[in-house]
Structure 1
Amino acid sequence: MPHPAAPDPDDDRDYPALRAPGAQDLEILDARLIDCRACPRLVAWREEVGRVRRAAYRDETYWARPVPGFGPADASLAVIGLAPAAHGGNRTGRLFTGDPTSDFLFAALHAAGLAALPYSHSRDDGQRLYGTRLVSPVHCVPPDNRPTPAERDTCRPWMARELDLLGPTLRAAVVLGGFGWQALMPVLTAAGYVLPRPRPVFGHGAHARIEGPDGPLDLLGCYHPSPRNTSTKRLTLEMATEVFRRAARLGGVP
């Protein structure tokens, strides 16, 4: 009886599972990530958004590819979101850049001493993060900002390898919203972290300390800084800044 065929490294569906685990550093990981075409619905949508464009950006060339993480390779704090925005990260090529959500997030990060500037407008705006890296469970913009469970799972190897490479220095993580919280749990389990029982439940200000192979990880929850949350004052700048300040203390960010 013939053996099953080995996965085809050129098969788009297998690309994350085959290419992410072997990346030796974040630079290599990011370079492989931006060539990913594993999810047909997301590929079609990100490229359609890049072709049609919003009127305010009609003269710009959209990135319209998977958007890698942003921040130093020796970060001790990870900030985990959801996915790039259609006319933010999908346009600019940098997570949380170029839209109202990014304006709010970076104002809070700057107030907490974690970002050089209180805004994030473009990849050449001079923005820098201190001891902090932005991470995304899904790297392509999804229609209606809603990835499917299958798309989340297909994309998981990228986040898993990113957090694995950050592991030696990573000491805290702020998760922006329930989607990121749920996406993170299987990644932590697979990486050897011991989750408390019952599992930590997402909430703004939630905090759990999780033992891992490189030491404990302090996990904190924060409402996602979407316009829906910020315009209704469900999340205020003071609330977000306090979570980031607490995470910076727990993570030992200078």
Structure 2
Amino acid sequence: MVAAHMSATYTAVLTAREGEVLWEDPSFLPHGFDGHVVAGEAGGQEPPEGRAVTDGSTQWRLPDAPRDFTEWGPAEPVNGTEATDEAFFVIQAGMPREYDPRDPDFAERTLLLRVSDGEQILELGGPDSRSLPCSHDGQGTFVCQTPYGEEVIAYDDRSGEELWRLPDETAGRISLRVTAVRHGAVYGSTDNGALILDARTGQDRVTDLPLAPLDVGPGFGLVIAPTTAYVYLHPATG
């Protein structure tokens, strides 16, 4: 178990059963955890590195700045499923070292990295990439969206190939606000109601979903009531 206090950086790694402290570091800011390695930054100012869960020893460390970019920026974990053997995080990479400011596609980039070894899986670009939250469905697909759901993009988690994106003007399809991603399904809502998409194709799977869950587990979905902020557990029906 990894416990972190974000307002004043402090991280401790404990065993889940006994609560034994395996190691602690008041300067380490974690970004992701896969059961074996904790990825993060020392003091939030150093390059990302991976530390062993057992003793805090350094397993990998990235260069002082990302290749082809100016600096490492803020990072956040990629939402995942119950699988603990593979995890990812996204981190801002600053400006490209060589760029043309007149280029309409010019923007800072966000990189998606693997926790176990720090390997770059994807490079995400565009004007909203600085705050591009991503989720992994546990079956080979990353689903990323702009902060307010203006655009949703899915990628293969091995090749980095873009699988689909919404909105799709050619097909006459609008985007959605993604609320959860799990086991090949993308849950979300539009102004027309809640729905489920296929994570690999982006095609409609269920278009009459009564609620858009914020989290999905085996046989249930969690929903927060917008007026009361109460959390409700709903059983799955299929």
TM-score normalised to the size of structure 1?
A: 0.26
TM-score normalised to the size of structure 2?
A: 0.28
| More helix per residue | 1
| More strand per residue | 2
- Structure with higher Rg: it is 2
